[in-house]
Structure 1
Amino acid sequence: MAISPDRLGKITRKLALKGYRLTKQRAMTLEVLLEKEMEYLTAEEVFLLTKGKYPLIGIATVYRTLELLSELRIVQKIALIDKSTRFGFRNDESEHRQHHLICHECGLIETVKEDWLLEMEIDLNCKFGFKVLDHSLDFIGTYAVCNENACKKSGLSVS
């Protein structure tokens, strides 16, 4: 799946504003992320998928590309409690990072589109003169179906 010209234009402009070009390696990495847009991938997963399309790419290039795209707020980096890091596209309409529900049992990462912290940001600005530039809120827990599955495996009943 190719990146839409509109989206590619936005990304190219963001890169250019910071003095970067959209290299073939960056474009291939972005293409892989776009194909898996509803998922959050590890750098290794992005590398393996990109290498399948572009065999000459190195893992260090993918890591650098993901870090750059994260710094430029094109992708969002999520650090999980198992110490793994995952990357996924950011919502263009959101001023801040997206919030997530992260299932500790099955690993599902679900994006919450609402910005629940706006009122708190205003309060912080009024009370402390602190202007919030960005924030991240991730909830780690388990979905009901995962709790049921875990209980079934252990022989316990779900109440």
Structure 2
Amino acid sequence: MAIWTDRLDKITRKLALQGYRLTKQRAMILEVLLEKETVYLTAEEVYLLTKSKYPLIGIATVYRTLELLSELRILQKIAFIDKSTRFGFRNDESEHLEHHLVCNECGLIEKVKDDWLSELEIDLDRKFGFKVLDYSLDFIGTYAVCSENACKKSGLFVS
């Protein structure tokens, strides 16, 4: 719980620096997100989890809060091929968004710690005078084990 308090204090300061307050509703939503910190959730999942604890919360408030926290670089949005969007906390130590492996079969989202684009960022600045502010790289595909399981379920087998 002390870790949550520290995290919430950092978020409160970040909101204040941008002219926002940690309202009661934002605190409720952040509490739910902190409880599920290692998982990326859809806005609907955040809404349902928050509503189960705080019945008066509205879905529009959840959507607005998630968008605001994304704009302020507190949360990161990941879009799936099926157009669904999930939200999770950004890494505080990283200058840029984290990279991910996103499995369309099982829904697993795995963070990639390596910064594969730092050389490209330097090259863009040197060649074009273009200063990169942020970027995100998500690989969307299917893990081998998920492909095998899907084929086994359908009666097809992967060699």
Q: TM-score, normalised by structure 1?
A: 0.96
The answer to whether the 8 Å contact 1:12/1:21 transfers is yes
The answer for unaligned runs of 5 or more in structure 1 is none
Taking the aligned partners of 1:2 and 1:139, their CA distance within structure 2 comes to 34
- Corresponding residue for residue 128 of structure 2: 128
Q: Does 1:114 align with 2:114?
A: yes
The answer to whether the 8 Å contact 1:99/1:111 transfers is yes
Tell me how far 1:157 sits from its aligned partner: 2.4
- Corresponding residue for residue 74 of structure 2: 74
Tell me how far 1:2 sits from its aligned partner: 7.4
Taking the aligned partners of 1:3 and 1:30, their CA distance within structure 2 comes to 13
- Corresponding residue for residue 145 of structure 1: 145
The answer to whether the 8 Å contact 1:3/1:34 transfers is no
Alignment of 1:31-42 (within 5 A): 31-42=31-42
The answer to whether the 8 Å contact 2:80/2:104 transfers is no
Taking the aligned partners of 2:133 and 2:54, their CA distance within structure 1 comes to 36
Tell me how far 1:31 sits from its aligned partner: 0.9
Moved more, 148-157 or 2-11: 2-11
Cα RMSD of the aligned pairs, angstroms, is: 1.2
The answer to whether the 8 Å contact 1:47/1:59 transfers is yes
The answer for unaligned runs of 5 or more in structure 2 is none
Taking the aligned partners of 1:53 and 1:60, their CA distance within structure 2 comes to 17
Tell me how far 1:107 sits from its aligned partner: 1.1
The answer to whether the 8 Å contact 1:99/1:113 transfers is yes
Aligned residues: 159
Describe the superposition over 1:7-32 as per-residue Cα deviations: whole angstroms up to 9, x where unpaired: 11110111001111001110111111
The answer to whether the 8 Å contact 1:3/1:31 transfers is no
Q: TM-score, normalised by structure 2?
A: 0.96
Alignment of 1:1-159 (within 5 A): 4-159=4-159
Moved more, 83-92 or 3-12: 3-12
Taking the aligned partners of 1:102 and 1:146, their CA distance within structure 2 comes to 12
Identity fraction in percent:
85
Taking the aligned partners of 2:157 and 2:79, their CA distance within structure 1 comes to 32
